[in-house]
Structure 1
Amino acid sequence: MTTEHAPAAALARRFADRLADLGLTEAQAAARAGMSTAYLHRVLELGPDFDPPALLRLSAVLALEYEELVAGRPAERVDRTGGPALAGPPVLRELGVAECWQRLGVGGLGRIARTGPEGPVVRPVGYLVHEHAVLYRTTEDGSLAPGPGGDAAFEVDRADRDLHEGWSVLMVGPLEYVTEPALLAELPEPAAHGRWVRLTPTTVTGRSIRSARPH
């Protein structure tokens, strides 16, 4: 095992041990954390730096401190920021639909995930919000273009490690090309051979998470 893969392997081991302690399955933990089992596997495979908000949600599901799940540090140790260790497991709160759209704002950076011919595909995208739909640009033959593979998932998240809090919004729905001339005239020109794509969510879910420090 290389040094590069060691943190991910240790994270996966701690996750599996905690599942056994709680009597949970991977599918149950993934559902409670608001992600698919395939995406859970990707988070564990790529390690602590791939998707910190996803790990924050998992730590809440497992009733573990974030640092204990990620780095295996006991509660009495000092955390990586140099401050005192966290006082207890993170507090998870469901976000309403209106809150989810508010967190997205008018645009920014997010991720699109969908199933391709070779399995799950996750790609970062720049997005715009238009009339409760998410717009992004991609090439017509790209893995994120509309086509076979069913609905896509769109996720935006933010995490503040200094404050030990964060949030995540997940939207799932079908993809289609934007074809309305009036709307296309308002949008920035896509890159060469690219087109604007619309994801119209059929489900919108979100969670915020906060970890308390000792008083």
Structure 2
Amino acid sequence: MSTTSGGRPRSRPAEPGEVGRRVAHRREQLGLTREQVAERAGMTVNFIEYLESRPATVEPGTVTVLAGTLGTSVGYLLGGGLDRPPGQAGPSSRPVVEELAPSECWARMAPGGVGRVALSTPDGPQVLPVNYRVLDGTVLYRTTAASTAATAVGERVAFEVDRLDEALGTGWSVLVTGPAHRVAEADAVRWLGEHADPRPWVGGERDVWVRIEPGRITGRAVRAAGTTPPDDTP
């Protein structure tokens, strides 16, 4: 988190909502200014600016007008296409690729969520989505003893996390490689269950904890030229 010169936390600007991001992205694709969109849609410039910069509840009729003004669909502005693989919206017009320092990689992974563990199995390499969290500089996930994800124990694996912003054509990815171990100490397992519980989306009893010790961590971010990299430091 960034701070003021006096050491006090500096509040970050609010992120736009999905509709606002998509409106801004489509407007820039068409080479239109906010003033031009406002005039064509019969709206105020202040409203377009607010919509593009802050989360906002947008009336269905307003979304319909904006979709017509921007030559796109209501479904697109509302986040349609979520059942398709990500990345189909394409990159930004002038993408910039940056290498992430290890500290930046950890900052992006820190909130936890869903990542992918890649491992070798008797049937060949597999990549599996798992709910994870970061603790003490390691990656933790829980599974069942009979699962494929549990066969990572004792092996060197890769673990990947990423995020894509379809509206802006930007994103980042982080890759961790290292050995995976089972957390066996009863006290540690009990503590993890109480304090570090990534709850698997698939549900059920999952009492095997796997810890990935990072031997190497790398990452890359893609942003549009002329924009400032986001401050993702917690």
Shorter chain as denominator, the TM-score bin is 0.5 to 0.7
Residue in 2 aligned with 1:173? 178
1:18-45 CA deviation, whole Å, 9 max, x = no partner? xxxxxxxxxxxxxxxxxxxxxxxxxxxx
**CA spacing shift, 1:142–1:125, aligned 2, 3 Å:** same
- Which of the numbers 91, 100, 103 marks the counterpart of 1:95? 100
TM-score, normalised to structure 2, is 0.51
Partner of 1:132: 137
Alpha-carbon contact 1:146-1:177 (below 8 Å) kept: no
Structure having the higher Rg: 2
Residue pairs, 1:40-55, within 5 angstroms: 49-50=84-85, 52=87
Instruction: Give the Cα separation in 1 of the matches to 2:219 and 2:188.
Output: 28
Q: How many residues align?
A: 136
CA RMSD of superposed structures (Å): 2.8
CA distance in 2: counterparts of 1:136 and 1:120, whole angstroms:
19
Contact 1:113 1:121 in 2 (8 A): yes
TM-score scaled by structure 1? Answer: 0.55
Of 67, 78, 85, which aligns to 2:90?
Answer: 67
Q: 1:160 to 1:147 in 2, by over 3 A?
A: closer
* Whole-angstrom CA distance in 1 between matches of 2:181 and 2:107: 23
Instruction: Give the corresponding residue for 2:219.
Output: 206
SS of residue in 1 equivalent to 2:149: coil
Give the deviation of 1:100 after TM superposition: 0.6
Percentage of matched positions with identical amino acids = 42
Residues 158 and 176 of structure 1: CA distance in aligned 2, closer, same or farther (over 3 Å): same
Q: How far 1:149 moved relative to its partner?
A: 8.3
Is 1:146–1:175's contact at 8 Å kept on the other side of the alignment?
A: no
Who is 2:45 aligned against?
none
Query: 1:63 is matched with which residue?
Result: none
Q: Residues 115 and 149 of structure 1 are in contact (CA less than 8 Å); yes or no, is this contact kept in structure 2?
A: no
C-alpha distance in structure 2 between counterparts of 1:102 and 1:207, whole Å: 13
